[in-house]
Structure 1
Amino acid sequence: MTLITTPSETPSEQQDAAASASTEPPRAFGWAQLTQALPGALRKLNPASLVRNPVMLLVWVGAAFTTVLAIAEPFLGGPADSGGTPVPAPFTWGIAIWLWLTVLFANVAESVAEGRGKAQAASLRKTRTSTMARKVVRYDAGADATAERSETVDVSSAELQRDDIVIVAAGELIPGDGDIVAGIATVDESAITGESAPVIRESGGDRSAVTGGTRVLSDRIVVRITSKPGETFVDRMIALVEGASRQRTPNEIALNILLASLSIVFVVVVLALNPIASYAASPVSIPVLIALLVCLIPTTIGALLSAIGIAGMDRLVQRNVLAMSGRAVEAAGDVTTLLLDKTGTITYGNRQAHEVLPLAGVDPEELLRVAALASLADPTPEGASIVALAASHGIQVEEPVGAVVVPFTAQTRMSGLDLPDGTQIRKGAGSAISAWLGLDSNAELTTLTDGVASSGGTPLVVAVRMADNATPRSLSSSRSLSEDAAATDGEVLGVVHLKDIVKDGLRERFEELRSMGIRTVMITGDNPLTAAAIAKEAGVDDFLAEATPEQKLELIKREQEGGRLVAMTGDGTNDAPALAQADVGVAMNTGTSAAKEAGNMVDLDSDPTKLIDIVRIGKQLLITRGALTTFSLANDIAKYFAIIPAMFMGVFPGLAALNIMQLHSPASAVTSAIIFNAIVIVFLIPLALRGVKYRPASASQILQRNLLVYGLGGVIAPFIGIKLIDLVITLIPGF
């Protein structure tokens, strides 16, 4: 059998949705960001703002106490000795200043992370300006509320309450979050999504939600307000991108508790040192003890922990994903099961004509010509793709003058064209075409349609019924149909194979997810045969065919009962239960308000494939936190070698063997360690904001890499840094 196939399975106008994931956010740290963040960092020196960070609160207390000692020293006879060795006069002031800088640098890290959302928040605030809204006085769902005659009253958008009905016309701002209950319109959402192209919003579907502050460009719509004043989607976005309402995640809270516990242990250790030293007739000065305590406790990760969490949410915002909580970002990093809708996520969603399959004795070109002729007035993407397939094979058709278009309906399940001479062309479902022609089952046709369905495609049967006075050449300028077709009620010419094309690169991305230990499940309403074919082509691990909302919910619960974390996307009200049940529920911004309320993330671009990128960002957050925690704990080792020998070398000369860095003096050793402890925070701020680059690997491989790079690096870097600082300090008179 001769086939005509499309030259390429992928339409040229379709783009790889994964490309957006490769775009990196703007520069993480520079003078501009530092200048903007400094005022906020100074305000955070208030101890009340440090209560949530016990490590830095302890450093603040040490800095304040050391400052008091530095002020009191002239009245107490100068600085105290340390381990029997005199310290220079500026020593205490130097320790106090660098302790304050340690706290300040930690605040700068958090302020810079928060400041990265200021620009977006500023643009969002412009959409919150109070506008006048036309509130419908008595709304009648059965009447045409979009008409000019509807009784309305002008009120401020700030006065609107939940369930109020408003009319918005072309050129007007939508006064609040809501759902369209009547009408259809194009809406400019660039203030929210950053995309300049307008979008279609209409009632009665999964694209009925609208956001306050966006502008209607055409037509008139009736909107039911779904938010309270001050609690709109934009208000929540502003708070989240600025970090003002960021909730600490369970892992972050647990790490804070661990850091606080370590700090308490080291406080006890340091408090016990002075009695031991006094017993050896070599008391240690209080500034040195405070410096030792600050160097022992994990100040590096304590200073950067909040910035890491804020930056993780910011990376999502950079990709137009709004996380309702840090918990959702963190959970995304631990996801083990990914549920993906087929249409629009795994496939492009618009079925394309892939090939034509003629019945025996029918010329493939004639089948393609008739199919294209029937599709000239078809506005659907499928119809346009049939015309495009014909054109790609050099077949050009024009709609005959006086032809009558027969639109597709759910009842007939066919569409086509009635020619002026009475000839009728139809394309549609096989059973509908057979019933239209009055034909019994055709074994050859059944074989073709079943073959298309089993490959994951949709069969579209093409048939023609000639009028009594029609000539066989009325359909074609190149050849006639069979004489049998002209003499009978009609003839089935063949099948057009419509293929729901799998997006480019998805197989590789699913393979990448598999290497992360993530299982992918495709959810579709297709029959099992079609679902299996698409799943095989896309490379997913499993699929759920003919899925209902109840089955989606049951699948998620079953996965969670096995100890797995589940992520899924959705946009309809029927997806709301599953979105709420999933550990990571990503609702589309184009979806219903119920879906957006149920999910813990909202994708402003409404791109379901972004779920894959969300998982990567979550994993990057966890890896960054783990890497910097490893570095922070490892670099304490070098500080021990710097300070402990310096404290007791005067009394126990044998400890000089531990002074492997050959530091100049006890005072310079302590000062060098405390300076390095402060400035290392500044050097790590860009890494905390940008995040450690994620590479797909198992948990054991990631741990090995962290220990090798950040563990070993955390040990080596302080030895080099403290030694270089000591060399500089020795140039200062008195040291």
Structure 2
Amino acid sequence: MTEEKRAELRISGMTCATCAATIEKSLKGREGVKRAEVNLGKETASVEYDPGKVNLKDLELAVKDAGYEVIDERATIKVGGMVCATCVSTVGEAIKSLDGVLDVTVNLGSERAYVTYNPRLTTMGEIRKAIDDSGYQYLGVVGEDTEDLERAAREKDLREKKRRIIVGFAVSLLLMAMMFLPLGHLFMFLPMGVLMLLISLPVFVYVSAPIFRAAYRALKNRNLNMDVMYSMGIGVAYVSSVLGTFRIVLTPDFMFYETAVMLASFLTLGRYMETRAKGRTSEAIKKLMGLQPRTATLIRDGQEVETPIEEVQVEDVILVRPGEKIPTDGEVLDGEGYVDESMITGEPIPVLKKAHSAVVGGTLNKNSALRFRATRVGRETVLAQIIDLVDQAQGSRPSIQRIADRAVSYFIPVVLTIAFLSFLAWYFVLGSRYLQPEGVLLFSLTTMISVLVVACPCALGLASPTAVTVGLGRGAELGVLIKSGEALEVSDHLNRVVFDKTGTLTVGRPDVTDIFAADGDESALLQLAASLENSSEHPLADAVVRKARAEGLDLQEVREFYAFAGKGVVGRMDGKELVMGNRTMLSERSIPISDEISAKALDYEKLGRTALFVALDGRLLGIVAIADRIKENAALAISELKRMNLGVVMITGDNPRSARAVAEQIGIQEVYAEVLPQDKASEVKRLQEGGNVVAFVGDGINDAPALAQSDVGIAIGSGTDVAIETGGIVLMRDDLLDAVAAIQLSKKVMSRIKQNIFWAFAYNVALIPVAAGVLYPAFRITFRPELAGLAMALSSVTVVSLSLLLKKYIPEAKRIRE
């Protein structure tokens, strides 16, 4: 009978006793729950349950089904010592075996474990112990000050491997020299075999000890991993040599001490190269973490006080001198200067900051002292959220990786089977046909050893996580935050990209686009129009006034101002009537419109712009055209998407005529107009039902339902105001070419994953048969164990190196912009 367990869940969303009763009822309705008691005051639920019938995940699901949320914690843990997909499985299973752990994802490329757990049931100390007991290294939690610990552990590991490689290759070369050079007279007092044993034994133990230790840990945890295979390969080679030395079963022909030592050295060299390469895969996130200053200069009681960043609070006043990094998010109080935000947004041009401007932690103050008020600190800053988002995304797995992981789980038993079958085939069947009788056992052993060491599940295990880690890090550097492996994979299969119009394709506010003055004096016409509209609160009036102020025009006083809804405005300036409005307004005041001005107005209206006529003292002076201006690069972005054979759709609440005018200017043919905000998701769904894979590009605020409905939502940020929670992809900069760059980057990463998996499979499919001796009967080609070990080392390094090439990748859309 299973022993009962007790769990305490922290719950959010309860407001009354009825809430507590609802949760209790939902929990008690689960099979295996013996008792459930909800404490409204503490916002907790205490549950006694039978773990044989129900688990913690089921209990949390019961609470969610009742309409409430369980508060869990998520930690990203640095793990050292993992080398293959089986290591990933071992670490994951060890953590998952703890009672309070709900979900674990382990990433081999970034050497991280992403753990969701209930802190009332499992502590970080217990998670640490589980990792250590499984034979791997707990190197701290991401976000804590453990970067030095992680770096020190990696450098120590590399130093040790380097020493083993140098000693191993030096001694194996010495052993080879002893075999081929006439050195016997120098050591007459000892047989050559015994001498080689004495020289090689301490070196073999020193070089191969980590491989045998890792194999022991794997077997202890009931896992078969590559270390088990490699230890069998080098172990068989060395034991055969010892047996041959003393003529126990085997003859001196089986002495290949140099092969055993060199093989162990090659395997260690592979690990060394792989560890160095893997250390570079997560450089992007380390670079982001390095942006955070360690201290801030606070202004307290008129004094400058240097304070650790952890002690800075919201509302603190902070001074940043030229050349210093801004320590937290905030709002400028005084000072004016340029700030380099390229490390956050990817925008290379410094941004002017003055009073009331927002600043972002981690950015660089260029040329003037700024004093600002902290608005977000610690884990709430934009930089911290970006780091967290990228870190979580790097821990996610596209489905193609799950397929590779499943293949790896079958890989090692299959390779062990092939190794033993190759030995048996050559010893009992093929040897007598193709080999001299005295060489059959030696050849059979050699093929078995070669198969054991040439097989490389590492390459398969690293194919996806290294590419995802490097690719998402590169995206962060370019100002494109891809939030999951699933978003990557979906973006690779897109065939429709849907754009919201207002605020996405257009600026989202009316602007003056054209001025036509009958007498040619456009500044004078704008000054009159702005002076009149200055008394109005209409959005079109604001556009006119904003334009005049941008051009430095002085506005004059207007008296007797009146606004006529849907028509225009009127006032008196210097005793003369000043009118601005549409055709109806002019008609009612009997102001004639010349053919020239009428034709000009029609031209503007065909482009979807609003034409406002300006008249003074009954005489028409000209036109001010206003429109929601199309964003810079919008047409370029649409053109690039079409070049990629993606269908482009525009969706808007505007009338068909205005919508069509905007669409024609930027090259979109498929337009859905007069669609209410709540109906945009329905339009996306309709496209999906037609067999399309749809991306929706919106501002992340008004378009949340459509972003959620689409296969991948692309939310456009506006510099520092990032809609982190919305969309599968978040753009740090308000530039539509970045939406194209996000899709191009996703396709590139997925292409690299497929290349990696292809080469990993191709390597194993090609070399394992060669190692097993299939080419020997026809071509007399064999694969020596040392060369098999070298090939194994190169295979995983090749995969990691291919992934690292993504660090230099620049999407075509980014090149266009530059």
Normalised to the residue count of structure 2, the TM-score between the two structures is 0.56
Superposition pairs for residues 353-502 of structure 1, below 5 Å? 364-366=518-520, 368=522, 370-374=524-528, 403-404=557-558, 419=573, 421-430=574-583, 437=589, 449=601, 451-464=603-616, 466=617, 490-498=618-626, 502=630
Provide the rounded CA distance (Å) in 2 between the counterparts of 1:453 and 1:641. 73
Cross-structure match for 1:629? 757
Which residue is 1:314 aligned to?
A: 473
Partners of 1:118 and 1:242 within 8 A in 2 = no
Segment of structure 1 superposing worse, 571-580 or 585-594: 585-594
* Structure 2 letter corresponding to 1:574: N
Residue in structure 2 matching 1:122, options 290, 293, 307: 290
Q: In the TM superposition, what is the alpha-carbon distance from 1:352 to its structure 2 partner?
A: 6.7
The separation in 2 between residues aligned to 1:410 and 1:189, in whole angstroms, is: 47
Alignment length, in residue pairs? 573
Structure 2, unaligned stretches of length 5 or more? 1-150, 162-209, 302-306, 432-439, 535-540, 813-818
Partner Cα separation in structure 2 for residue 410 and residue 580 of structure 1: 42
Counterparts of 2:470 and 2:354, CA distance in 1: 33
- Verify the 8 A CA contact 2:512 2:543 in the aligned structure 1: no
Does the C-alpha gap of structure 1 residues 431 and 175 become closer, same or farther in structure 2, counting only changes over 3 Å?
A: farther
Quote how far apart the aligned CAs of 1:536 are. Answer: 1.9
Shift of 1:612: 1.0
**What code does the residue aligned with 1:77 have?**
G
Quote the offset at 1:615 in angstroms.
0.4
**Which residue of the partner structure matches residue 137 of structure 1?**
none
| Superposition CA RMSD, Å | 5.5
Pick one of 82, 86, 89 that aligns with 2:257.
89
User: Residues 45-444 of structure 1 correspond to what in structure 2 (within 5 A)?
Assistant: 58-69=225-236, 72=239, 75-78=242-245, 88-123=256-291, 125-126=292-293, 190=341, 192-193=344-345, 197-198=350-351, 230=379, 233-239=382-388, 241=390, 246-280=395-429, 282-283=440-441, 288-296=447-455, 299-343=458-502, 345-347=504-506, 364-366=518-520, 368=522, 370-374=524-528, 403-404=557-558, 419=573, 421-430=574-583, 437=589
1:532 Cα deviation after fit: 0.7
Distance 2:743 2:560 in 1: 47
Percent identity among equivalent residues?
A: 25
SS in 1 for 2:734: coil
Distance 1:567 1:408, change over 3 A: farther
- How far, CA to CA, are the matches of 2:391 and 2:767 in structure 1? 36
Q: Does 1:550 align with 2:699?
A: no
In 2, the alpha carbon distance for the partners of 1:542 and 1:251 equals: 33
Amino acid of the residue matched to residue 679 of structure 1?
L
For each residue in 1:530-588, what CA deviation from the matched residue of structure 2 results, as whole angstroms up to 9, or x when unmatched?
11122122112422334432122222222333443332333353223333333333334
The 1-side partners of 2:556 and 2:786 are apart by 94
Equivalent residue of 2:494, what SS?
coil
Kindly tell me: are residues 81 and 63 of structure 1, through their superposed partners in 2, closer, same or farther at Cα, counting changes over 3 Å? Answer: farther
Q: Which amino acid aligns with 2:229?
A: G
Deviations 1:248-301 (CA, angstroms, capped at 9, x unpaired): 222222232234434543333333222333323634555642432453556544
2:225 is paired with a residue of what secondary structure? helix
CA distance change for structure 1 residues 431 and 212 in 2, over 3 Å: closer, same or farther?
A: farther
Q: Do the aligned partners of residues 167 and 39 (structure 1) sit closer, same or farther apart at CA in structure 2, a change above 3 Å counting? A: closer
Q: Residues 351 and 501 of structure 1 are in contact (CA less than 8 Å); yes or no, is this contact kept in structure 2?
A: yes
Consecutive unaligned residues of structure 1, counting only runs of 5 or more, are 1-34, 135-147, 149-154, 359-363, 392-397, 467-489, 650-654, 697-735
1:672 matched to 2:787? The reply is yes
What code does the residue aligned with 2:576 have?
Answer: T
In the alignment, does 2:185 pair up with 1:39?
no
> Could you tell me whether the CA contact under 8 Å between 2:226 and 2:412 is conserved in 1?
no
* SS of alignment partner, residue 486 of structure 2: helix
Give the structure 2 partner of residue 581 of structure 1. Answer: 709
Distance 1:98 1:417, change over 3 A: farther
Mapped partners of 1:57, 1:418: distance in 2: 91
Q: 1:401 to 1:314 in 2, by over 3 A?
A: closer
Structure 1 CA distance, aligned partners of 2:358 and 2:547?
30
Contact 1:37-1:115 at 8 Å conserved across structures: no
Amino acid in the other structure paired with 1:331: V
Aligned counterparts of 1:399 and 1:694: Cα–Cα separation in 2: 43
SS of equivalent residue, structure 2 residue 612: strand
Contact 1:407–1:414 (Cα < 8 Å) also in 2? no
Q: Measure how far apart 1:177 and its partner are.
A: 7.5
Shift of residue 617, structure 1, vs aligned partner = 0.4
2:784 paired with 1:616: no
- Report the counterpart of residue 651 of structure 2 in structure 1: 523
The 1-side partners of 2:483 and 2:716 are apart by 13
More strand by share: 2
C-alpha separation between the residues in 2 aligned to 1:60 and 1:596?
42
Alignment TM-score, normalising by the size of structure 1: 0.62
**C-alpha separation in 2, matches of 1:221 and 1:405:** 42
- Tell me, yes or no, if the aligned pair for 2:329 and 2:374 is still in contact at 8 Å: no
Q: How far, CA to CA, are the matches of 1:122 and 1:212 in structure 2?
A: 12
C-alpha displacement of 1:432: 5.7
Secondary structure at 2:757 match in 1: helix
Identify if the C-alpha distance between structure 1 residues 315 and 214 changes in structure 2 by more than 3 Å, giving closer, same or farther.
Answer: closer
One-letter code aligned to 1:612: V
Q: CA deviation at 1:616?
A: 0.4
Paired letter, 1:255: A
Kept in 1, the 8 Å contact 2:659–2:673? The answer is yes
Residues 392-419 of structure 1: per-residue CA shift (max 9 Å, x gap): xxxxxx9689655999999798689964
1:619 deviates by 0.5
Render the CA deviation track for 1:59-88: whole Å, top value 9, x for unaligned.
333233344445645543359999998574
Contact kept, 8 Å, 1:175 with 1:213, in 2: the verdict is yes
Query: Deviation per CA, 1:86-118, whole angstroms, max 9, x where unpaired?
Result: 574311222222233334434433321112432
Give the CA deviation at 1:245.
5.7
**Secondary structure, aligned partner of 1:585:** strand
How far did 1:247 drift?
1.8
Partner of 2:180: none
Does the aligned pair in 1 maintain the 2:697–2:707 contact within 8 Å? yes
Which letter does structure 2 place at the counterpart of 1:62? M
Asked whether the equivalents of residues 311 and 689 of structure 1 are also in contact (C-alpha less than 8 Å), the reply is yes
Aligned equivalents of 2:237, 2:316: Cα separation in 1: 69
8 Å contact from structure 2 (residues 394, 485) kept in 1? no
Of stretches 594-603 and 72-81 in structure 1, the one that deviates more from structure 2 is: 72-81
- Does the C-alpha gap of structure 1 residues 447 and 582 become closer, same or farther in structure 2, counting only changes over 3 Å? same
Could you say what secondary structure the match of 1:335 adopts?
Answer: coil
Cα offset for 1:310?
A: 0.7
Displacement, 1:620? 0.5
